[in-house]
Structure 1
Amino acid sequence: MVNQLSWKVGGQQGEGIESTGEIFSIALNRLGYYLYGYRHFSSRIKGGHTNNKIRVSTTPVRTIADDLDILVAFDQETIDLNCGELHENGIIIADAKFKPVKPDHVQADFYVVPFTEIASELGTSLMKNMVAVGASCAVINVEVAAFTGVVEEIFGRKGEAVVQKNMEAIQQGYDYMLSQLGDKVSPLQLDEADGRQRMFMIGNDAIALGALTGGVRLMAAYPITPASEIMEYLIEKLPKVGGTVIQTEDEIAAATMAIGANYGGIRSFTASAGPGLSLMMEAIGLSGMTETPLVVVDTQRGGPSTGLPTKQEQSDLMAMIYGTHGEIPKIVLAPSTVEEAFYDTIEAFNLAEEYQCPVILLSDLQLSLGKQTVEPLDFSQVEIRRGKLVQEELPEREDKSYFKRYEVTEDGISPRVIPGMKNGVHHVTGVEHDETGKPSESPANRQAQMDKRMRKLDRLQLNMPVYTNAKHEEADLLLVGFGSTRGAIEEAVERLEKDGVKVNHAHVRLVHPFPAEELLPLVESAKNIAIVENNATGQLANIVKMNVGHAHKIKSLLKYDGNPFQPHHIHEGSKELFELYYSLPSGKESL
């Protein structure tokens, strides 16, 4: 019996690979297992290799496993591309249709199951994925009955006969695989889960749910990978609360429409990826200059230009902080888990209204599309804060002057009204303006308005700027990351500690304004510092050096090949970076 395993299904895009993983993982989640799933897919609708790797555990997991226990293959390419991950006790379960061949160097057990043939005999070859699910269940010792509810939910609208056929496909796959195993007891039988009910969702769904919970009633956006699921979720949910989603003609229109809605008093936002954010930069500057709240979600992907639309990268960090021309206050949040994505999205809308500035929620493809087990969300934590939005009636001014929408205040935040409020008339323009919004090129006014805007964030206080796991007053190594790298770093920390290295971990959740005070003590007390990030230029490392110093002991651990970090990349990479030596049981020392 094992307390965790890694399962992967692969084949050609468009032949049900995603649904196979979805059905398999949902059923296991409902049994009480913790899961982490990550899809590798091509930037086209049909064709090209795709796979879905799912980690199943009796304890929480937040990253992809290094190795692979079970590989379910619908074509030879899946075996050839993925067999290197299999450990010696692993299992390949391949469809007989393509006459699979196991490479000579692979030690894993090899089983050929007629997925397609069994499915065709039941009525349609499309059910081959259900046969594969059944075969997998036989290996890990999960009863077929666990899938009844999931199959009914997915296929129930097609009628009872379809539900029964799919359940029969699972059962026949299960029975066939048992016959192949014979008297051999599978080494991959899972320990029993705790049976607790938990959510299982991707980061994009958490962001969308956070927006809905945070009071959003309009989303304006243009579809783009890997952000589109946020739109899709809200297209279904927003109309139920009187809201709507508008698909605009481009990202420029999306950002400006969101600004207009926020100016009108409706919480609104947009979501995109790198190429779309490039187009939004002028509008983000408009939000900063007009001091209109704006929340933008950036689901980072491989760039530049079209780049790698369906692959992992974290290369928008500098652009999100410094991309707009001129200087405006801006807040950039970077959640690292699905739970944080939910809570940070709500907080983004509060901050946008409190500080009357653009707030960017920085996700990445792994966080946005990776599916994780999530503990029940605590809605008692949710609060709506609207800052200096004037909601009581304004007094009439004797001099009949315009409302001072951009009044110079000590804290840099001016009173805000929505259109139609009596005695709240003011100008709004993207050029420099005076306190009433009228255009002004006066040097004194320019400096007063700039100073006012730029001191907005001086008093920004958040309870989540840096997540820390710091067990040591003086660490041999400090690992720092942001976004979805957290899970891989956490597991690497455990391995390094077993090697005898004292390791602290800091994960930056607020990347701008940078939380230098919170990070500085950890940096000062560490002998070596590795900044872990999915880009080629060490963007977070440069920001740490700029804000915290100690550049002489900071090195970058980078990965920009389109794939996420796995724990071994960080474990082994840290040793190579700093030439750290560890005592082995033999008494010898080695890298």
Structure 2
Amino acid sequence: MINQLSWKVGGQQGEGIESTGEIFCIALNRLGYYLYGYRHFSSRIKGGHTNNKIRVSTTETRAISDDLDILVAFDQETIDVNYKELHEGGIIIADAKFKPVCPEDTKAELYIVPFTEIAAELGTSLMKNMVAIGATCAVLGMEISVFNDVVDEIFGRKGEEIVKKNMDAITAGYKAMEVMLGEKLGAMELEKADGQKRLFMIGNDAIALGAVAGGCRFMAAYPITPASEIMEYLIKKLPQLGGTVIQTEDEIAAATMAIGANYGGVRAITASAGPGLSLKMEAIGLAGITETPIVIVDTQRGGPSTGLPTKQEQSDLMAMIYGTHGEIPKIVMAPSTVEEAFYDTAEAFNLAEEYQCPVIVLSDLQLSLGKQTVQPLDYGKVEIRRGKLVDTEIEESENKAYFKRYEVTQDGVSPRVVPGMKNGIHHVTGVEHDETGRPSETALNRKAQMDKRMRKLDNLTTTFQTPVYKNTPHEEADLLILGFNSTRGTIDEAIGRLETDGMKVNHAQIRLIHPFPADEVLALVQSAKKVVVIENNATGQLANIIKMNVGHVNKIKSILKYDGNPFLPHEIHTQCKEMFEYGNI
């Protein structure tokens, strides 16, 4: 028996590859296994190679596996592209329809199963993915009955006959593979899971759910990969809570609508990817100078321009901090797990209102679209804090002056009112203004307002909950590895191997990118002999931010990957070991 399995299904987009992985994963998740999935797909609606790699484990896992146990192929390209991941003893289960052939250096054993033919005999070739699931069950020695509830939930609305046919397809796939395997039936049987109930979700769903829990009741957005699922989730949920979602004509409209809603007192969000954030930048500046709360989600993808819309990258970091013209207070958060994505998004609304500034929740494609097992969320941890929002009657001033919406205060945060509040009238403008909002270009006023806005965040790094995730067992480490967003699980796994090699390794993920938690990171850097920063971009953006804030320039080195694929554990392990052994760090 094995305690971990790596399984991949591949084919052309539109062939049901995603649903195959989805059904397989849901059933295993309900048995209590931990799962981590990453989907490779082309930037087109139909056609082009796609695959879904799933890691199944009896213990918690947050990374894609290096190798592959089972490859389910619906076309020859799947074999050609992915066969090298298979280890010796691995299995390829391929549809007979395309007459599969393995390259000469294939280490795995090929089993040809007539997925399409079996499905067609049962009524429609569309069920070939269910046949493939059945074939996989035979290799795992898994009872097909575990799929009964899942198939019923997915196909039940189409009638009992459709449910029965899909279960028949799973059964037929199992029997066909059973004959081929012979004594090898159940060759990769998994150890029994603990049976605990856990969530199974993508990061975008966690972000959207966090927004709901955080009191968000309005979203304005324009569809874009890999952020669209946030809008799709909220379209279903917000109307049930008296909220609404508007799909706008472009990203500029989305940002300004969200600003307008927040100005009106409604917690609002907008979400996009790099190209959309470029269009939102002027509006983000407007939120900054008008001190209007707004939460913006950026799900990073390969750039620049259209770039690699469906591939992993972490190259928006500098843009999120410095992208707006002029200078405004801005908070940039970077959750590193699906759970953190939920809690951080809920907290983002509190921070936006407390500091009256834009808050950017920074994600990446791997975190946003990678589906994984998640521990039950604790909604009791979510609180609503509205900052200096005036909710009591405002007394009329003796000279009937306008309300000092931009009053110069010691902490930089002014009292805030919603439109229509008696005696709360004030101006709102994108040009520099005085305390009541009236345009003013005097030097003294400009300096007073700029200083007020910029000191808002002076103490955030000390009050922000967990600005840095730390796994630091060593007071003095041979190596400190730093990262952000989705690299956390992969780094943790690589560290386990480095520790086995005899190295003392500490790990930290930067969760508050701006303002930067310099003191905390400096202490970590000083306690390590060498420092390596892991990130998916070509210029070492996080490494440069760390150097800007903590120094130690010669001590900090980068391991970069920007080919569109996420890091694998062996890549980090190998490169860190080589750099350390050969004195390159």
Scaled by the length of structure 1, the TM-score of the pair is: 0.98
**Of 222-231 and 469-478, the range deviating more from structure 2:** 469-478
Task: State the AA in 2 paired with 1:562.
Answer: G
Match of 1:190 in 2: 190
Match of 1:497 in 2: 499
Indicate conservation of the 8 Å contact 2:227/2:271, yes or no: yes
Aligned-partner SS, 2:184: coil
Structure 2: distance between partners of 1:213 and 1:392: 25
Indicate conservation of the 8 Å contact 1:555/1:577, yes or no: no
Aligned-partner SS, 1:183: helix
Match of 2:24 in 1: 24
Structure 2: distance between partners of 1:334 and 1:137: 38
Indicate conservation of the 8 Å contact 2:178/2:185, yes or no: no
Task: State the AA in 2 paired with 1:109.
Answer: E
Structure 2: stretches of 5+ with no match in the other structure = none
**Is residue 2:579 matched to residue 1:577?**
yes
> Per-residue deviation at 1:471?
1.0
Match of 1:314 in 2: 314
Match of 1:476 in 2: 478
Q: Can you list the C-alpha shifts for 1:58-104, whole angstroms capped at 9, x where unaligned? A: 00000100000000000010001000000001100000111101111
Indicate conservation of the 8 Å contact 2:9/2:20, yes or no: yes
Q: Can you list the C-alpha shifts for 1:460-519, whole angstroms capped at 9, x where unaligned? A: 111210000111111111000000000100001000000001100011000000011111
Match of 2:550 in 1: 548
Indicate conservation of the 8 Å contact 1:230/1:271, yes or no: yes
Aligned-partner SS, 2:425: coil
Match of 2:397 in 1: 397
Indicate conservation of the 8 Å contact 1:407/1:435, yes or no: yes
| 1:290-439 alignment, distance < 5 Å | 290-439=290-439
Match of 1:588 in 2: none
Task: State the AA in 2 paired with 1:121.
Answer: E
Structure 1: distance between partners of 2:187 and 2:501: 28
Structure 1: stretches of 5+ with no match in the other structure = 582-590
> Per-residue deviation at 1:577?
2.7
Indicate conservation of the 8 Å contact 2:70/2:86, yes or no: yes
| 1:534-545 alignment, distance < 5 Å | 534-545=536-547
Task: State the AA in 1 paired with 2:189.
Answer: Q
Aligned-partner SS, 1:342: helix
Structure 2: distance between partners of 1:487 and 1:21: 21
Task: State the AA in 1 paired with 2:509.
Answer: H
CA RMSD between the two structures: 0.9
Task: State the AA in 2 paired with 1:442.
Answer: T
Aligned-partner SS, 1:388: coil
Match of 2:138 in 1: 138
Match of 1:228 in 2: 228
Indicate conservation of the 8 Å contact 2:141/2:185, yes or no: no
Structure 1: distance between partners of 2:555 and 2:351: 34
Task: State the AA in 2 paired with 1:229.
Answer: E
**Is residue 2:151 matched to residue 1:151?**
yes
Match of 1:70 in 2: 70
| 1:190-269 alignment, distance < 5 Å | 190-269=190-269
Aligned-partner SS, 1:295: strand
Structure 2: distance between partners of 1:18 and 1:147: 16
Match of 2:559 in 1: 557
Match of 1:83 in 2: 83
Structure 2: distance between partners of 1:349 and 1:577: 42
Match of 2:446 in 1: 446
Structure 2: distance between partners of 1:142 and 1:270: 43
Number of residue pairs matched by the alignment: 582
Task: State the AA in 2 paired with 1:365.
Answer: L
Give the percent of matched residue pairs that are identical in Structure 1 and Structure 2.
77
Structure 2: distance between partners of 1:424 and 1:201: 44
Indicate conservation of the 8 Å contact 2:547/2:553, yes or no: yes
> Per-residue deviation at 1:187?
3.5
Structure 1: distance between partners of 2:385 and 2:479: 39
Q: Can you list the C-alpha shifts for 1:244-271, whole angstroms capped at 9, x where unaligned? A: 1100110000000000000000000100
**Is residue 2:532 matched to residue 1:530?**
yes
Task: State the AA in 2 paired with 1:578.
Answer: F
> Per-residue deviation at 1:165?
0.2
Structure 2: distance between partners of 1:249 and 1:185: 55
> Per-residue deviation at 1:580?
5.0
Structure 2: distance between partners of 1:444 and 1:562: 49
Structure 1: distance between partners of 2:229 and 2:508: 30
Task: State the AA in 1 paired with 2:559.
Answer: L
Task: State the AA in 2 paired with 1:131.
Answer: V
Detail structure 1 runs of 4+ shifted over 4 Å in the superposition: none
Task: State the AA in 2 paired with 1:302.
Answer: G
Match of 2:283 in 1: 283
Match of 1:585 in 2: none
Indicate conservation of the 8 Å contact 1:65/1:567, yes or no: yes
